[in-house]
Amino acid sequence: MLPRPRRLSRKDFLAAKSHGKSTRTPHFSLLTCSNNLSFSRFSIITSTKLHKSAVVRNRLRRQIYDQLSTISHQPSADIIIIPHHSMLNLPRAEIGPLLNQALSKITPGIS
């Protein structure tokens, strides 16, 4: 789990969701909104559309948070990650490089 300052508050989550720029990859979607901080804040949405079982959804959420803590290059932004169903079949080791690649692509285009 990320430390509290690195997670989005409800107010910032709603702002990022309504005003954020959307980026889609084959395995997840990103909503990004710039912030005035020197670090990024993250949130992950795993709905029942992803999987019926809360155990599976929470496991994926923990894996994503774990990989986010190891990524070195992170833009200064509020980022919401929405995993797609195909991400459930990915090995844990592949999640980090995919997130890193997506985050490096969105850095110049944050609104």
Query: Is residue 17's pLDDT more than 80?
Result: yes
DSSP code for 41: E
Predicted TM-score (pTM) of the model is: 0.88
Q: Residues 54-69: pLDDT tens digits?
A: 999 999 999 999 998 8
> How confident is the model over 18-37, as a mean pLDDT?
91
Nearest-angstrom CA–CA distance, 40 and 7: 8
Q: Measured between alpha carbons, how far is 62 from 92 in angstroms, rounded to an integer?
A: 11
Asked whether residue 108 carries a pLDDT value surpassing 70, the answer given is: no
Instruction: Give me the pLDDT at residue 104, please.
Output: 84
Strands ordered across the beta sheet of 21-24: 21-24, 28-34, 77-83, 41-44
Look at the alpha carbons of 52, 56, 61, 64 in this order and tell me if their dihedral is positive or negative.
negative
Which single residue is written with the structure tokens 């994503």? 64
Return the pLDDT at 45.
Answer: 95
Q: Label residue 28 by pLDDT band (50, 70, 90).
A: very high
The CA angle 56-82-59, to the nearest 5 degrees, is: 20
Domains of the chain: 4-106 (3.30.230.10)
Structure tokens at 60: 């994926």
Q: Is the pLDDT of residue 11 over 60?
A: yes
75 or 10: whose pLDDT is higher?
10
